Chains A and B, each alone.
Chain A
Amino acid sequence: MSMVKMDKISILGHLSEKDNIVRALMDKGVVQIEDASFMKEELGEAVENDVADSVVPELDRKIDFLDQAIKTLKNNSGEKAPMFAPKRRYESPRGRKLEIYNIAEQINNKSKEIASLSSEANAVKNTIEQLKPWEKFDSPLNKMETKGTKVMLGTFPLKQNFSEIKKQLEAEDINALIEEVDKDKQFTYAFLVAEKDDVEKAFDFLKGHSFTRISLEESDKTPKDCIEDCNQRIENIEEEKKKILDEIVSFKDRREDMENLVDSFMMERDRRKISENFLKTKSVFYLTGWTPAAGAEALKEEFTDKYQCFVEVEEPGADEEHPVLMQNNKFVEPYEMITNMYSPPSIKDPDFNWILAIFFTLFYGMMMGDFGYGIIITVGCAAAIITSKFKRKEGNLFKLMLYCGISTMIFGILFGGFFGDLTLLKRFAVLDPINETMRFMGISLTLGIVHVYIALVIQGYKDLKNKDVLGFIGDTIAWIVFIWGVVVLITTKILHIQNGFWAESFWGQQMGRFTLAIWILIIGAILVVATNGREKKNPFMKFFGGISALYGITGYFGDVLSYSRIMALCLSSGIVAVVMNQLARMVWHGPLIILGIVIILFGHALNLFIGALGAYVHTCRLHYVEFFGKFYEGGGRLFTPFKRNTKYTDAEL
């Protein structure tokens, strides 16, 4: 359980060996390669930055292209990938790359065809929409004039009185007439027949009545026949699309090949790209990076033996920034995720993840506090873990929730909670959250004080590691004593609690607890005043710095009160569960039992979801704000070695 010691590794090799060395580094996967250009000035003019291979963009394009084909296959083949399944082993597509790529090309061409067919179908549908109102106009669309007359199509807004316009037109001195074809919610569709000489006049007249001319595509058929043609065309298109889709689906056995090819290209791309971090001269290249100290010497020997290169391993300087790698046992490891979500630890932070693991599990269990829900969480996560065959550092959320589920079961027993108020476990209960709310609150706040104390101790540990004894007294001892005094004073004098953990936390019972509390308080306050202004130079400033630090107690007060959320979340999810059971009991007779079952299933599922989410969020919050705030620096970089990174398959050696 600790931070892994890192060593700086530098390799100077002949250019002809570059590919081999890079490949070996990738296969090993233990070196994080860093940008070496900061060394350039030191090394003189003959040295220049190396660049990524020019094939990199081409490889990126190919990867996208293959991904697209795989996606098309996945969407259309109807195969459902199981939700939790381990990644397939990688099989090298060596020698078949061109052939496999060719398949992706075929698939993508076919999906292009489908896309163009779809857009054609849309165009045809638009035409149908246009023709629809003219369905009753039973003349071919290219016979719109005779020797002496001309026909014109157009619309009137519905609010224009068509028969009125028609009459008016007849009354005018124009050889023309209009006739209605159809009506819909917006327009009256009509045609105008006029003698050729009078067409313009008639049109002008109608324009005055909001007539809008419509021109349809020429055709030797009537609108009705045109629509029928269009429908036929759409049917054909659909058939064609289906045929092409079937052709695409027929490639579904080749999906794994394409996935292998993507991963092969990805690894190749990474190998080609990494050299942009290197330096080079005409004959040698230089790379630098970090590797766990434990394997560094072995790595050095192996590389110097096998390749034409010179390897140097050195320890980092005292404050030299480097990537961090944590090493923890199987229980603690998933909890690194919680810390990293906030911010990865800096090189100055100790690895406290085991403490976080204990309290995270504890708080989560208390916030859920229900045996039934605990079983569901535990079994669900266990099932996911078993079917997915997670390796280490994978599926952290499921592993973490597995432990939290077990904790939930334990606190379910302690709180007598089993799907709310089912009485199965009541006799084992040591605390009844709903009826002993104040006691529960006291326990929550006490845990809060303990949690805050531990955070202060970690800060003290950091101070001691830096040989800052005054800091250790000021940051840790002084505050622990001062907070202790304040807590005892509050519990005994303000809340009048004469027994219990805090009130009895003194050995001098005969002396009167109050007096002792006051003394503790005063000693604590003196320590705080004496040490918390230590950064100031001027003695007066030191004193005032210390005095104003006392005000910090309000912050701790708020921090501790914040832990009451443990009680609040446990109670609220308990209440909802109880009410669900009550609702179900109301209908629990006769055929209505079915309704009761639905209420129970739905209600508890919803409550479990909200409760589990709430407990997770609030446990995180307690750590991020109340716990981390006391000591954590963060802002580090996680160790991300150069290794075989793949998308679809498992290619680790």
Chain B
Amino acid sequence: MDAKWLALIGAALAAFLSGMGSAKGCSIAGQAAAGVTTEDPAKFGQTLVLQLLPGTQGFYGFIVAFLILSNAGILGTGGGDVDLVKGLAYLAAGLPIGVVGLASGIQQGKASAASISLIGKRPEEMGKAIIFPAIVETYAILGLLVSFLIVNGVK
């Protein structure tokens, strides 16, 4: 039985869940950034960097989706048949980065927003401000890693 559709669902979950997380996170951080930039337009660059940080989850989701699609032979020419077990594995592979990406994207957005208001008051502390949201990022990285290990483990 060809179970490519399971792989497709896995790829879709990886991309859209983490994309939603990043969209929400960037939006939260963007609103804070706009507020700070109103007060001092010179802080645009600094706040933009902080706003971009929660954007990586969606990016990771895209990476996993791409890996699933190309390994399952949906994209490009590689890959063999996908039976039910493999299909389920691909579906499972989409979940870690999808779910963790959704949650951590939003939470990182909140941390970013807080760091942006830090920049609003103390622009010289950029180094510290960037660390707080970057720590939330860890869990997205771990999600990406597990997703990758699952994709890689499908034999």
Q: Is A621's CB within 8 Å of the partner chain B?
A: yes
B128 nearest CB neighbor, chain A only: A341
Q: Does A586 lie within 8 Å of B76, measured CB to CB?
A: yes
Q: Does B144 lie within 8 Å of A610, measured CB to CB?
A: no
Q: In chain B between 94 and 148, which residues have their CB closer than 8 angstroms to a CB of chain A? A: 127-128, 130-131, 134-135, 137-138, 141-142, 144-145, 148
In the assembled complex, the Cα of A579 lies from the Cα of B70 at a distance in Å of 10
User: Chain B contacts of A617 at CB under 8 A?
Assistant: 130-131, 134-135, 137
Q: Is A571's CB within 8 Å of the partner chain B?
A: yes
Q: Return the CB mask of B48-79 against A: 1 if under 8 Å, else 0.
A: 00000000100110010011001000011000
Q: Is A620's CB within 8 Å of the partner chain B?
A: yes
Q: Does A575 lie within 8 Å of B130, measured CB to CB?
A: no
Q: Does B135 lie within 8 Å of A575, measured CB to CB?
A: no
Q: A582-B70, A586-B76, A620-B131 are in contact. Are A568 and B145 (CB under 8 A)?
A: yes
Q: Does A618 lie within 8 Å of B70, measured CB to CB?
A: no
Q: Is B31's CB within 8 Å of the partner chain A?
A: no
Q: Does A434 lie within 8 Å of B152, measured CB to CB?
A: yes
Q: Is A614's CB within 8 Å of the partner chain B?
A: yes
In the assembled complex, the Cα of A397 lies from the Cα of B124 at a distance in Å of 14
Q: Is A437's CB within 8 Å of the partner chain B?
A: yes
Interface size on A, residues (CB 8 A): 23
B70–chain A nearest beta-carbon distance, Å: 7
Q: Does B134 lie within 8 Å of A579, measured CB to CB?
A: no
A626–chain B nearest beta-carbon distance, Å: 14
User: Chain A contacts of B85 at CB under 8 A?
Assistant: none
Q: In chain A between 595 and 624, which residues have their CB closer than 8 angstroms to a CB of chain B? A: 606, 610, 613-614, 617-618, 620-621
User: Chain A contacts of B149 at CB under 8 A?
Assistant: 437
Q: A572-B141, A579-B63 are in contact. Are A613 and B148 (CB under 8 A)?
A: no
Among the interface residues A568, A575, A586, A614, which one has the most CB atoms of the partner chain B within 10 A?
A: A575
Interface size on B, residues (CB 8 A): 24
Among the interface residues A572, A583, A586, which one has the most CB atoms of the partner chain B within 10 A?
A: A572
Q: Does B141 lie within 8 Å of A568, measured CB to CB?
A: yes
B97–chain A nearest beta-carbon distance, Å: 10
B56 nearest CB neighbor, chain A only: A610
Partner of A341, one of B67, B127, B135: B127
User: Chain A contacts of B130 at CB under 8 A?
Assistant: 613, 617
Partner of B141, one of A341, A434, A606, A614: A614
Q: Does A571 lie within 8 Å of B148, measured CB to CB?
A: yes
Q: Does B134 lie within 8 Å of A571, measured CB to CB?
A: no
Q: Is A481's CB within 8 Å of the partner chain B?
A: no
User: Chain A contacts of B66 at CB under 8 A?
Assistant: 579, 582-583
Q: Does A614 lie within 8 Å of B145, measured CB to CB?
A: no
User: Chain A contacts of B135 at CB under 8 A?
Assistant: 617, 621
A363–chain B nearest beta-carbon distance, Å: 15
Q: Does A614 lie within 8 Å of B127, measured CB to CB?
A: no
Q: A571-B148, A582-B70 are in contact. Are A618 and B138 (CB under 8 A)?
A: yes
Q: Is A565's CB within 8 Å of the partner chain B?
A: yes
> Main secondary structure on chain B at its contact with chain A?
helix
Q: A568-B141, A586-B76, A614-B137 are in contact. Are A575 and B127 (CB under 8 A)?
A: no
In the assembled complex, the Cα of A565 lies from the Cα of B70 at a distance in Å of 27
Partner of B63, one of A565, A576, A613, A621: A576
Q: Is A560's CB within 8 Å of the partner chain B?
A: no
A287–chain B nearest beta-carbon distance, Å: 30
In the assembled complex, the Cα of A286 lies from the Cα of B132 at a distance in Å of 46
In the assembled complex, the Cα of A527 lies from the Cα of B140 at a distance in Å of 41
Q: Does A613 lie within 8 Å of B128, measured CB to CB?
A: no
Among the interface residues B63, B127, B149, which one has the most CB atoms of the partner chain A within 10 A?
A: B63
Q: Is A569's CB within 8 Å of the partner chain B?
A: yes
User: Chain A contacts of B70 at CB under 8 A?
Assistant: 582
In the assembled complex, the Cα of A224 lies from the Cα of B152 at a distance in Å of 74
A603 nearest CB neighbor, chain B only: B59
In the assembled complex, the Cα of A590 lies from the Cα of B77 at a distance in Å of 19
A613–chain B nearest beta-carbon distance, Å: 6
B101–chain A nearest beta-carbon distance, Å: 13
A584–chain B nearest beta-carbon distance, Å: 12
User: Chain A contacts of B148 at CB under 8 A?
Assistant: 571-572, 575
In the assembled complex, the Cα of A397 lies from the Cα of B152 at a distance in Å of 37
A585–chain B nearest beta-carbon distance, Å: 9
Q: In chain A between 340 and 355, which residues have their CB closer than 8 angstroms to a CB of chain B? A: 341
A579–chain B nearest beta-carbon distance, Å: 5
In the assembled complex, the Cα of A397 lies from the Cα of B63 at a distance in Å of 31
User: Chain A contacts of B59 at CB under 8 A?
Assistant: 576, 606
User: Chain B contacts of A583 at CB under 8 A?
Assistant: 66
A173–chain B nearest beta-carbon distance, Å: 57
In the assembled complex, the Cα of A610 lies from the Cα of B142 at a distance in Å of 14
B73–chain A nearest beta-carbon distance, Å: 14
A528–chain B nearest beta-carbon distance, Å: 32
Q: Return the CB mask of B71-91 against A: 1 if under 8 Å, else 0.
A: 000011000000000000000
User: Chain A contacts of B141 at CB under 8 A?
Assistant: 568-569, 572, 614
A617 nearest CB neighbor, chain B only: B134
User: Chain B contacts of A618 at CB under 8 A?
Assistant: 138
In the assembled complex, the Cα of A571 lies from the Cα of B148 at a distance in Å of 9
User: Chain B contacts of A620 at CB under 8 A?
Assistant: 131
In the assembled complex, the Cα of A78 lies from the Cα of B143 at a distance in Å of 47
A401–chain B nearest beta-carbon distance, Å: 12
In the assembled complex, the Cα of A539 lies from the Cα of B127 at a distance in Å of 50
Q: Does B134 lie within 8 Å of A575, measured CB to CB?
A: no
Q: A610-B56, A613-B134, A620-B131 are in contact. Are A575 and B144 (CB under 8 A)?
A: yes
Query: Which 6 pairs between the two chains have the least Cβ-Cβ distance?
Result: A617-B134, A572-B141, A579-B63, A568-B145, A572-B144, A575-B148
Q: Would you give 14 A-B contacts (Cβ < 8 Å), ordered by A?
A: A565-B138, A568-B142, A569-B141, A571-B145, A571-B148, A572-B60, A572-B141, A572-B144, A575-B148, A579-B63, A579-B66, A583-B66, A613-B134, A617-B135
A residues with a Cβ closer than 8 A to B are 341, 397, 434, 437, 565, 568-569, 571-572, 575-576, 579, 582-583, 586, 606, 610, 613-614, 617-618, 620-621
B residues with a Cβ closer than 8 A to A are 56, 59-60, 63, 66-67, 70, 75-76, 127-128, 130-131, 134-135, 137-138, 141-142, 144-145, 148-149, 152
Beyond A613-B134, A614-B137, 17 additional pairs, beta carbon < 8 A: A341-B127, A568-B141, A571-B145, A572-B60, A572-B141, A572-B145, A572-B148, A576-B59, A576-B60, A579-B67, A583-B66, A586-B76, A610-B56, A610-B137, A617-B131, A617-B134, A617-B135
